[in-house]
Amino acid sequence: MQNLTMQLYTVAEIRAIEQAAFQAYQLSATDLMQRAGAQAWCCIQRHFSQAHQLLIVCGVGNNAGDGYVLARLAKLAGVDVHVYTVIDPKHLSGAAQQAYQHYVDINGRFTKFTDALPMCADVIVDALLGTGLSRDVDDDYRLAIERINASQCPVLALDIPSGLQADTGRVLGCAVHAQITVTFIGLKQGLYTGQAKAYCGEIILASLDVPPDLLTSSASTTSCLHRIALPPRAAYAHKGHFGHVLIIGGDVGYSGAVKLAAEAALRVGAGLVSVATRTEHALFLNAHRPELMCHGITSPAQLHALIARADSVVLGPGLGQADWGQWVFAEALQCPKPMVIDADGLNLLARQTLHKSTWILTPHPGEAARLLSVSTQAVEQDRFYAVKKLLAERGGVIILKGSGTLIATAQGVNVVTQGNPGMASGGMGDVLAGVIAGLVGQGLSLTEAAQQGVWLHATAADSAAQQGGERGLLASDLFPWLRQWVNQ
């Protein structure tokens, strides 16, 4: 077993690694299957050490073969093992057929699955479908998954919970809810985004002793995001060293959005923060947060003067799409400074076909759908494809928010493993935009600011949720945690 590593792989990349192992290191499919079953057995011993009854549900292909290897090892160790198989095992081939035969040779029990599973096992092992699934689950497989989920027993999934699409994290009709997923050779990218986060439970990597050079030489450009600490500040530092951030937005009724973004920029260390907003809002925004410099703007000249003094710009929080928001957007878009575009800035941008290298776009799936002229469902079906397409069409850095946020840059895609459902509340995106702009103002590149900003934002939300729970989590609850984490 290995701890979670950073690199993520598609199914095609894992298969290429397997083929390279077969050719360069004389490994066979049987070797890898034996190792997979052995590592799964180790996982059960470690996490379910009191288990005396093991129910393994086998399907087709190598995933079933892994299950039969596990069944044999558990039975030899004295565990009460029962295999339920969705297909006639005689239809298995290659290494999987061999694994089945070895299990039968020690008088291993198996029953053809019809429409029922015992509800009294210490652990159920999902060895149904594996990573090759590409269409919706149906017939006996759907029924088996439903029975597993209804059992209320702890579930260990082999390689991936059956029913998940390994490259996208999409549920194909239905999927197994696992407490633990032991995944083999390398981490599959679909385990970490979209719907998959609700199905995988704890993810454990079993490399099967595949030589590390095969993994590092893979063509994969996708990885889990990791933290890079900011450098300590010089003793002689002053506010001019840490950037001047300008937040643009806040039409009538939406002043809170710019306040959240502006305070977030301050909380991650921006030296100065200005707000360009409706004249009606400027005075009370400053009264509630006196560290902000708030300006009511009624003309392009006022806006351009503020932009000229800024090091980074946020465009969109509370901007609206009425006349005021439209002219402000059109004028601000001429800005040559690094810019974060969020909220209604993205909705207005969707009406244009601009491409820039100097911006960070932060859409949620609905905004991404408008930018791509597709449905929100299409975005969620393949979040990796959507974020890469946005990068190709719009340039800069793209942050596709949601469960398992994705960050696309010219170097590849990062997946964010932090974050929680409590973040599904108003203002969270405004805070993220301010965090990122605050980091850009302090000298981070667009890529670094996007990566570290998303990490800080999600980690602060996790800390806030851990303290008080997910329900009722407010965007402003992140502020003390942002300050704490940016200083660690």
Digit-coded pLDDT (tens) for 89-145? 989 999 999 999 999 999 998 999 887 777 679 999 999 999 999 999 998 999 999
The per-residue pLDDT for 283 is 87
Task: Decide if 462 contacts 421 (C-beta within 8 A).
Answer: no
In degrees and rounded to multiples of 5, residue 84 shows phi and psi of: -110, 130
Arithmetic mean of pLDDT over the chain: 95
Q: What is the pLDDT of residues 368-417, one digit of tens each?
A: 999 999 999 999 999 999 999 999 999 999 999 999 999 999 999 999 99
Q: What percent of the chain has pLDDT over 70?
A: 99
Helix 29-47 and helix 94-105, axial crossing angle in degrees, nearest 10? 50
One domain for residues 134 and 250: no
Structural domain contains residue 380? yes
**Higher pLDDT pick, 215 / 391:** 391
**Spatial separation of the C-alpha atoms in residues 285 and 303, rounded to whole Å:** 18
Q: Quick check: 33 pLDDT over 70?
A: yes
**Spatial separation of the C-alpha atoms in residues 360 and 371, rounded to whole Å:** 14
The per-residue pLDDT for 4 is 37
Structural domain contains residue 1? no
Q: What is the pLDDT of residues 301-329, one digit of tens each?
A: 999 999 999 999 999 999 999 999 999 99
**Spatial separation of the C-alpha atoms in residues 391 and 385, rounded to whole Å:** 10
One domain for residues 126 and 60: yes
CATH of the domain at 36: 3.40.50.10260
Choose the final residue of a domain: 159, 189, 218. Answer: 218
pTM over 0.75: yes
One domain for residues 208 and 282: no
One domain for residues 322 and 441: yes
The per-residue pLDDT for 116 is 72
One domain for residues 197 and 257: no
CATH of the domain at 387: 3.40.1190.20
Structural domain contains residue 197? yes
The per-residue pLDDT for 59 is 95
Structural domain contains residue 229? no
Choose the final residue of a domain: 186, 218, 250. Answer: 218
Domain hosting residue 192, numbered range: 7-218
Structural domain contains residue 292? yes
Q: What is the pLDDT of residues 467-481, one digit of tens each?
A: 999 999 999 999 999
CA distances from 255 to 258, 271, 298, 326, 360 (A): 6, 22, 16, 17, 22
One domain for residues 155 and 246: no
Overall domain count for the chain: 2
Quick one: which of 263, 269, 257, 268 has its CA closest to 289?
Answer: 263
One domain for residues 137 and 207: yes
Structural domain contains residue 223? no
Structural domain contains residue 14? yes
One domain for residues 213 and 248: no
One domain for residues 148 and 277: no
One domain for residues 480 and 345: yes
In degrees and rounded to multiples of 5, residue 469 shows phi and psi of: 100, 160
**Spatial separation of the C-alpha atoms in residues 188 and 223, rounded to whole Å:** 10
One domain for residues 153 and 252: no
Q: Quick check: 2 pLDDT over 50?
A: no
Question: With bands split at pLDDT 50, 70 and 90, how would you rate the model's confidence at 287?
Answer: confident
The per-residue pLDDT for 223 is 95
**Spatial separation of the C-alpha atoms in residues 414 and 146, rounded to whole Å:** 33
The per-residue pLDDT for 3 is 36
One domain for residues 189 and 287: no
The per-residue pLDDT for 440 is 98
Structural domain contains residue 233? no
